[in-house]
């Protein structure tokens, strides 16, 4: 079966509204007859969830090497592609991922400074042809995103403990991806009402999604 045009991902710093928008998108698509699989990265498969625990463990702050982080994200991704994404696409389902390979581009490539080349080579190895048709970046000012997540009142994980400058670099990495790869990455202003953001997101996804079965 043709697996093209049914795989989408959302990106953006924490608090940009990814999970809110994904829930809205999935209900819209399901009401149109699409069967949708939702994923959150890192995670989704049992092995990937175990890797997630290591990646987010706050006690590894200052201990985990940047390359270890890069490889673990890719290992988690390889497993979820193998176990969940590729089989779902083969079965004709739509896959919506909360973060995917462009997170690695922005966080490890840009913000950690490992560079786009290293990340892209590894992404090719990990993903092969299993890559989102379109990735929508929810762009928001770092302080605005933080103010939204602060309301959750949860203890920050290892990545969330990074300073504002780190997330500013992540944001710039996402914007660079949208500039350099406009065919597969689109950035939209996420500092608006959820309904206004969704109107843009929906238009972008529907412009690329294959027709409902």
Q: 200 Cβ partners below 8 Å, 6+ apart?
A: 188, 189
Cα 38 to Cα 195: distance, rounded to the nearest angstrom:
20
Question: Quick check: 20 binds ligand ADP (CB under 6 A)?
Answer: yes
Per-residue contact string for residues 102-141; x = within reach of ligand ADP by CB under 6 A: ----------------------------------------
Shortest Cβ distance from residue 86 to ligand ADP (Å)? 25
Shortest Cβ distance from residue 129 to ligand ADP (Å)? 27
Residue 187 · residue 173 · CB < 8 Å: no
Question: Quick check: 42 binds ligand ADP (CB under 6 A)?
Answer: no
For ligand ADP, the closer CB: 125 or 143? 143
Shortest Cβ distance from residue 196 to ligand ADP (Å)? 8
Question: Quick check: 26 binds ligand ADP (CB under 6 A)?
Answer: no
Shortest Cβ distance from residue 150 to ligand ADP (Å)? 9
Within 13 Å of residue 76, how many CA atoms lie on the same side as its CB? 26
Q: 77 Cβ partners below 8 Å, 6+ apart?
A: 41, 42, 48, 100, 101, 104, 126, 127
Contacts to ligand ADP from residues 148-167, by CB under 6 A: 148-149, 151
User: What angle do helix axes 142-150 and 164-180 make, rounded to 10 degrees?
Assistant: 120
Contacts to ligand ADP from residues 164-193, by CB under 6 A: 193
User: Maximum Cα–Cα distance for the chain, whole Å?
Assistant: 49
Q: Pick one of 45, 85, 130, 197: the residue that binds ligand ADP (CB under 6 A).
A: 197
Cα 19 to Cα 44: distance, rounded to the nearest angstrom:
14
Q: Which residues bind ligand ADP (CB under 6 A)?
A: 12, 14-20, 148-149, 151, 193-194, 197
């Amino acid at each position: 079966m043709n697996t093209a045009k049914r795989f989408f991902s959302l990106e953006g710093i924490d608090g940009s509204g990814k999970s809110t928008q994904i829930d809205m998108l999935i209900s819209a698509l399901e009401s149109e007859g699409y069967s949708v699989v939702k994923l959150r990265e890192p995670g989704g498969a049992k092995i990937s969830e175990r890797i997630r625990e290591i990646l987010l463990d706050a006690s590894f702050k200052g201990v985990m090497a940047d390359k270890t982080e890069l490889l673990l994200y890719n290992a988690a991704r390889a497993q979820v592609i193998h176990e969940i994404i590729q089989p779902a696409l083969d079965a004709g389902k739509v896959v919506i991922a909360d973060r995917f390979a462009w997170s690695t581009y922005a966080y490890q490539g840009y913000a950690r400074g490992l560079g786009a080349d290293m990340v892209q080579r590894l992404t090719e190895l990990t993903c092969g042809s299993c890559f989102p048709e379109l990735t929508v970046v929810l762009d928001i000012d770092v302080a605005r995103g933080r103010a939204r997540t602060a309301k959750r009142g949860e203890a920050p994980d290892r990545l969330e403990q990074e300073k504002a400058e780190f997330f500013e670099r992540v944001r710039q990495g996402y914007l660079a991806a949208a500039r350099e790869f406009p065919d597969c990455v689109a950035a939209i202003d996420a500092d608006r009402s959820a309904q206004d953001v969704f109107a843009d997101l929906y238009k972008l996804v529907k412009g690329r999604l294959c027709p409902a079965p």
